[in-house]
């Protein structure tokens, strides 16, 4: 339980509601900032303005998945108010206060450095990334169905990258009956791809592995689907780029060649916001418990 632990939840989208639900269940004391237009009232949590919160008792600040923007502004879909997480606010918190965010940026890094607070990036964690791969794959399937006129079954699918997302994408498309090949650069990944029962190839041979693909799914956050690679694809190939912005595809060239290439960020929050929120909530609850027990132990 998190009884008595004062937590400030600042901004977010539908995913954050699952976090709030979980923390209430664990009996934390919640200050909700940026939720004034949320119809749903949470018993045991108070909606507050940023300047009303007593940050001197806040042990954890929970930001939405994107954290802040480069000016410290926190996005919220539940308020029109401009919310900015400033150095002054964070300095007011107790020294042990931890900031939790999905990802970080130079603003947040600088903020925690100058205030000497800890920042936890939830999306850096293997467990969160692996759980998140599940709704990401489901969203990818949705996009492929929407943007092709063939079945996934028996289609030729190239997956680029064998990380947490790439592995799940390859396995699921293969289970749906697609003829999957996966590109990687490490020999141990090539071995794993072989073990998975799909076809491996080295990424330095990417150009010669796309001449018959129906769908190319990129998970590598570097320019990999270059103009040279795209020029070898059949005109009907669909490129789905899952890698974080700006993706790994030469979108300008794809458009010029008339090949449909779609950057598809944030699929978990789009196709399964409840599950995506529960994934974050589960890990966050565990981390907060550990943190609280650690402090009690000391
Ligand atoms: P990951 O586990 O780090 O996997 C990344 C893969 O890219 C690894 O196989 C890595 O291979 C490869 N790679 C990285 N740099 C490379 C390079 N320069 N050349 C060749 N291969 C390279 O990451 P992940 O969790 O699978 O996530 C993949 C991407 O999807 C990230 O950008 C993530 O932000 C994004 N993502 C998007 C969604 C969405 O909804 N669209 C959802 C979740 C994640 P090595 O091991 O050889 O480095």
pLDDT in tens, 121-150: 999 999 999 999 999 999 999 999 999 999
| Beta-sheet strand order (sheet of 260-263) | 199-202, 179-184, 156-160, 215-218, 238-241, 260-263
- What phi, psi does 193 have (nearest 5°)? -65, -40
Confidence of residue 153 (pLDDT cuts 50, 70, 90): very high
Q: State the Cα–Cα distance between residues 167 and 193, nearest whole angstrom.
A: 8
> With a 6 A CB cut-off, is 76 part of the ligand 1 pocket?
no
Is pLDDT at 43 greater than 90 in this prediction? no
pLDDT at 41: 74
Q: Hey, which of 15, 123, 137, 165 would you mutate to test ligand 1's pocket, going by the most ligand atoms within 8 Å of its Cβ?
A: 165
162 lines ligand 1 (CB under 6 A): yes
Residue 273 has pLDDT above 90, yes or no: yes
**Among 161, 272, 275, which is best to mutate for testing ligand 1, by the most ligand atoms less than 8 A from CB?**
161
Say which residues have a Cβ less than 8 Å from residue 201's Cβ, sequence separation at least 6.
181, 182, 183, 190, 209
pLDDT 10s digits, 5-36: 999 999 998 999 999 999 999 999 999 999 99
- Locate tokens 């995913």: which residue? 15
CA torsion sign for 286, 35, 85, 93 is negative
Distance CA 185, CA 189 (A): 7
Q: Give me the pLDDT at residue 112, please.
A: 97
C-alpha distances in Å from residue 210, one per residue of 236, 265, 283: 12, 23, 39
- Say if residue 297's pLDDT is above 90: no
Do 282 and 22 form a contact (C-beta atoms < 8 A)? Answer: yes
- Please compute the mean of the pLDDT values over residues 79-101 and round it to a whole number: 96
Phi, psi (5° rounding) for residue 111? -60, -45
CA distances in angstroms from 277 to 17, 70, 128, listed in the order given: 7, 24, 11
Nearest Cα residue to 280 out of 60, 84, 44, 102? 102
Which residues are paired to 215 by β-bridges?
A: 157, 238
Distance (Å, whole) CA 181 – CA 178: 9
Question: What number of residues does the chain have?
Answer: 298
Q: Is ligand 1 within 6 A of the CB of residue 190? A: no
The answer, yes or no, to whether residue 289 has pLDDT greater than 90, is: yes
Taking the CA of residue 266 as reference, the ligand 1 atom at the shortest distance is 40
* Ligand 1 site, residue 74, Cβ cutoff 6 A: no
Q: Which of 186, 221, 267 to mutate to test the pocket of ligand 1 (most atoms within 8 A of CB)?
A: 221
How far, in Å, from the CA of 243 to the mean position of ligand 1?
A: 6
Q: What pTM, to 2 d.p., does this model score?
A: 0.89
- Mean pLDDT within 48-62: 95
Contact (CB, 8 A) for 64 and 102? yes
**CA–centroid distance, residue 124 to ligand 1 (Å):** 11
Distance 170 CA to ligand 1 centre (A): 13
């Amino acid at each position: 339980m998190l009884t008595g632990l004062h937590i400030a939840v600042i901004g977010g989208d539908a995913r954050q509601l699952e976090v709030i639900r979980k923390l209430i269940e664990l009996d934390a004391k919640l200050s909700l900032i940026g939720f004034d237009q949320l119809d749903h009232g949470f018993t045991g949590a108070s909606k507050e303005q940023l300047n009303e919160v007593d940050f001197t008792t806040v042990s954890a600040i929970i930001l939405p998945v994107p954290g802040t923007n480069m000016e410290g502004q926190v996005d919220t879909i539940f308020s029109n108010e401009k919310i900015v997480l400033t150095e002054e606010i964070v300095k007011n918190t107790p020294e042990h206060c931890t900031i939790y965010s999905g990802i970080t940026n130079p603003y947040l890094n600088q903020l925690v450095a100058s205030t000497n607070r800890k920042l936890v990036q939830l999306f850096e964690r293997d467990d969160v990334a692996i759980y998140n791969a599940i709704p990401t794959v489901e969203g990818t399937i949705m996009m492929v169905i929407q943007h092709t006129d063939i079945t996934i079954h028996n289609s030729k699918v190239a997956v680029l990258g064998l990380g947490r997302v790439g592995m799940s994408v390859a396995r699921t498309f293969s289970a749906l009956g697609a003829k999957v090949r996966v590109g990687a650069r490490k020999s141990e990944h090539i071995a794993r791809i072989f073990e998975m029962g799909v076809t491996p190839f080295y990424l330095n041979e990417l150009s010669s592995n796309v001449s018959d693909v129906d769908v190319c799914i990129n998970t590598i956050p570097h320019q990999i689907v270059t103009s040279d690679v795209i020029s070898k694809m059949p005109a009907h190939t669909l490129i789905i780029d899952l890698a974080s912005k700006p993706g790994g595809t030469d979108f300008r060239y794809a458009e010029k060649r008339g090949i449909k290439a779609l950057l598809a960020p944030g699929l978990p929050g789009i196709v399964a916001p409840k599950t995506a929120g529960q994934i974050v909530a589960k890990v966050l609850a565990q981390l907060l418990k550990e943190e609280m027990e650690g402090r009690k132990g000391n």
